[in-house]
Amino acid sequence: MSKPLIEVKDLKIHFPMKNNILFNKEKRFVKAVDGISFVIHENETLGLVGESGCGKSTTGKSLLRLIEPTAGEVIFEGKDITKISTREMRDVYRNMQLIFQDPYASLNPRKTVGKLIEEPLLINSDLSPKDRLDRVYELLDVVGLNAYHANRYPHEFSGGQRQRVGIARALALNPKLIIADEAVSALDVSIQSQILNLLRKLQQSFGLTYLFISHDLSVVKHISDRIAVMYLGEIVELGTKIGLYDKPLHPYTQALLSAAPSIKSTNRRERIVLEGDMPSPVSPPSGCKFHTRCFAKMPECELVRPQMRDMGDGHYVACHLYK
Amino acid sequence: MKPILTVDNLQTHFFTDSGIVRSVDGVSFQVNEGETVGIVGESGSGKSVTALSIMRLLPSRVGKIVEGSVKFQDIEMSKLKEKEVRKIRGNDIAMIFQEPMTSLNPSYTIGNQIGEAVRLHLKLNRKQAEKRSVELLQQVGIPRAQEIVHEYPHRLSGGMRQRVMIAMALACNPKLLIADEPTTALDVTIQAQILDLIQQLKKTSNTSIIIITHDLGVVSEICERVIVMYAGRIVEEGDVRSIFESPSHPYTSGLIESLPSLDESVEWLETIQGNVPIPSQMPTGCKFAPRCKFVMERCKQEEPELIDIGMGRKSRCFLEGKRKNV
């Protein structure tokens, strides 16, 4: 297997809540991410799935330190980037870029697309103005737009084209790792497949590594090599694409997969409908955080937090069912 | 089967500063009693505007039904006065909106909001209305209904709010329920709960349902018939199983093939090239011609009619006409 590009060890992100001034209660925290570990190898795509509030986006942002981790290590190319200065972080940004969900909100409406794509080059490279312009044209071409698009403003573009601009910006500095946070969620089906194909093509031609964050199980399955499933700030299952989708082990993964509507009637799965909603991350359930909604709950699930267990073939699960 | 809703050549236009937008351009379809019909299409296809036109909820200053008729049972909806529409809306025809977060009023209790419809339409008093609200909440599977009626919307999660929206829509036992993207804002596991609930409603009542969505999976799970819209027009119509198994229109097959599947893996997804045309640059011939894989010279000149292709299916494509003549 190729060598690891980024390694996350026991990452925790806790947000403090406002203190109650009248009654000096103990300080409470929203435990958005509560001790997760994973590795992404070079030229691989790791999918991160989960429902809203499970901490998947917070994880993505904290790898870039857009949200400072509370504890844990993020080792990128052999260096723990949680401990380095902001100045040193700049070098890291050159190799690690983010694609945002909303192509409407993430582009400055007052700059032309050419200027938007040039921006990372201005800050982080010493190219001459002419070279920069050449690079902008090259990037537009790479993402399937034309040179004449460079002088247009974001509002003149459709959603899919704006997402292409977002991708061109992320690619500007030849990064190694791209974190795509719900990059295709806001797009229509026919445009979504165009962007997914583009991401795959770019990965093959530039040897990119992706962390692909999404709530859509079929999209994640399509693009990823390995997949991690998150629930309430923890990874409950991690496995290869084939292992995880053909033989989901964790009851939550099983429920998620069965709940996804399919257009084929022939191979419809027996649907597992979970009861209730995801509990609040302020006061998560004791033991296994999923026990309040689990259909296979055992007495010990309420008491003991299950540890990640290696089930072979790169398949890991945190559940008391497997011992 | 008796049709409960008949839409005939509906044309809804928006008169904006930058010109007329023909959001719905000659749409005709029927919904029968007890039937669940899905309307699918991508953003800008006119599916939501169709629903708003039926409900007479268009923004009155810019949006207008310029032609066509919407017949609910024997009543011509498009000719009614606002006062008369109000007697039907929320009573015989009810609607569920996409955003359960914004479509509930934050300053009224849940009971108040559900009760409003029954007090108005069924002339119940305060006490009876509250009793009915509790019943409805129990029917849509909300625990502690007795307490929840006195709560405000912000205390509820997204899934619960959508249940409340459904309870509100069901308050007067509507004959027709229009659900505009009812599960789009919800998580997968919550979506499964709501789809389950709609399935149960279908079993226990004879309500006709129109589901408007961009999600083909949702349509496949709960609808009997599906209408595919593109650029303000119906491009294909028929029963769900046969359309998903053998789509006729290139747009429908493009949509189905561009969906990544949980069951099979492919390296490259099928795509539909290009984008939905913007209103000011609508092509003259077939609206889908610029993106179509099978485009012919004829498609660029004239627009195909929505023709009957047998087995209760319709398609708007010259290729179908050809196939039929052979």
Nearest-neighbour CA in chain A from B192: distance (Å) = 5
For chain A, list residues whose CB is within 8 angstroms of any CB belonging to chain B.
51-52, 158-161, 188-194, 196-197, 200, 215, 217-219, 221-223, 241, 245, 255-265, 267, 271, 273-274, 277-278
- Between chains, do B191 and A259 touch, taking CB under 8 Å as contact? yes
Element of type H or E holding A157: none
Query: What does the block give as tokens for A235?
Result: 């990874």
Residue of A nearest to B192 (CA): A259
Task: Report the residue from A191, A241, A260 with minimal CB separation from B188.
Answer: A260
Residues β-bridged to residue A74:
A8
Q: DSSP 3-state assignment of A300? A: helix
- Between chains, do A200 and B268 touch, taking CB under 8 Å as contact? yes
Q: Are the CB atoms for A168 and A139 separated by under 8 Å?
A: yes
- Chain A positions touching B275 (Cβ under 8 A) are 158, 160-161, 191
* Window 50-79 of B, Cβ < 8 Å to A: none
Residue A19's pLDDT band (cuts 50, 70, 90): low
Looking at the predicted structure, is the pLDDT value of residue A137 above 90? yes
pLDDT in tens, chain B (326 residues): 789 999 999 999 999 888 888 999 999 999 999 999 999 998 889 999 999 999 999 988 889 999 999 999 999 988 899 999 999 998 999 999 887 778 899 999 999 999 998 999 999 999 999 999 999 999 888 888 899 999 999 888 888 898 999 999 999 999 999 999 988 878 888 888 888 888 888 888 889 999 999 999 999 989 999 999 999 999 999 999 999 999 999 999 999 999 988 887 888 998 898 888 887 788 999 999 999 999 999 999 999 999 999 888 999 999 887 665 54
Is the CB of residue B187 less than 8 Å away from at least one CB of chain A? yes
Q: What is the DSSP letter of A17?
A: P
Nearest-neighbour CA in chain B from A287: distance (Å) = 22
Query: What does the block give as tokens for B129?
Result: 């209305």
Task: Answer yes or no: is the ipTM higher than 0.95.
Answer: no
The hierarchical CATH code for the domain B3-92+172-325 is 3.40.50.300
Q: What is the DSSP letter of A106?
A: S
Looking at the predicted structure, is the pLDDT value of residue A41 above 90? yes
- Between chains, do B272 and A190 touch, taking CB under 8 Å as contact? yes
- According to DSSP, the β-strands at A209-214 and A45-49 are parallel
- Between chains, do B188 and A274 touch, taking CB under 8 Å as contact? no
Tell me which residue of B287, B319, B315 sits closest to B300, measured CA to CA: B287
Tell me which residue of A1, A8, A30, A34 sits closest to A17, measured CA to CA: A30
Highest mean predicted confidence (pLDDT) among A14-28, A29-43, A256-270, B276-290:
A29-43
Whole-angstrom distance, CA of residue A320 vs CA of residue B15: 61
Q: Rounded mean pLDDT of A149-156?
A: 91
- Chain B positions touching A241 (Cβ under 8 A) are 265
Residue of B nearest to A158 (CA): B275
Q: What is the DSSP letter of B7?
A: E
Tell me which residue of A38, A45, A83 sits closest to A65, measured CA to CA: A83
Residues 6+ away with beta carbon under 8 Å from A129: none
Residue of B nearest to A53 (CA): B187
Task: Report the residue from B189, B215, B267 with minimal CB separation from A274.
Answer: B189
More confident residue, A264 or A7: A7
- Chain B positions touching A223 (Cβ under 8 A) are 260
Q: Are the CB atoms for B180 and B210 separated by under 8 Å?
A: no
- The tens digit of pLDDT for each residue in A202-220 reads 999 999 999 999 999 999 9
What does A46-75 look like in DSSP terms, one character per residue? Answer: EEEE--TTSSHHHHHHHHTTSS--SEEEEE
Nearest-neighbour CA in chain A from B307: distance (Å) = 25
Residue of A nearest to B262 (CA): A218
- Chain A positions touching B268 (Cβ under 8 A) are 197, 200
- Between chains, do B260 and A221 touch, taking CB under 8 Å as contact? yes
- Between chains, do A190 and B255 touch, taking CB under 8 Å as contact? yes
| Domain(s) of CATH 3.40.50.300: residues in chain B | 3-92+172-325
* Window 188-217 of B, Cβ < 8 Å to A: 188-193, 195-196, 214-217
Whole-angstrom distance, CA of residue A244 vs CA of residue A221: 9
Look up residue B279 and give its amino acid: P
Q: DSSP 3-state assignment of B106? A: coil
Tell me which residue of A190, A134, A201, A133 sits closest to A167, measured CA to CA: A201
Task: Report the residue from B188, B265, B275 with minimal CB separation from A256.
Answer: B188
Tell me which residue of B110, B155, B152 sits closest to B133, measured CA to CA: B110
pLDDT value at residue B311: 87
Task: Report the residue from B214, B241, B267 with minimal CB separation from A189.
Answer: B214
- Between chains, do B262 and A245 touch, taking CB under 8 Å as contact? yes
Q: Are the CB atoms for A185 and A217 separated by under 8 Å?
A: no
Looking at the predicted structure, is the pLDDT value of residue A222 above 70? yes
pLDDT value at residue A1: 58
Residue of A nearest to B187 (CA): A51
Nearest-neighbour CA in chain B from A274: distance (Å) = 6
- The tens digit of pLDDT for each residue in A90-128 reads 889 999 999 988 777 889 999 999 999 999 999 888 899
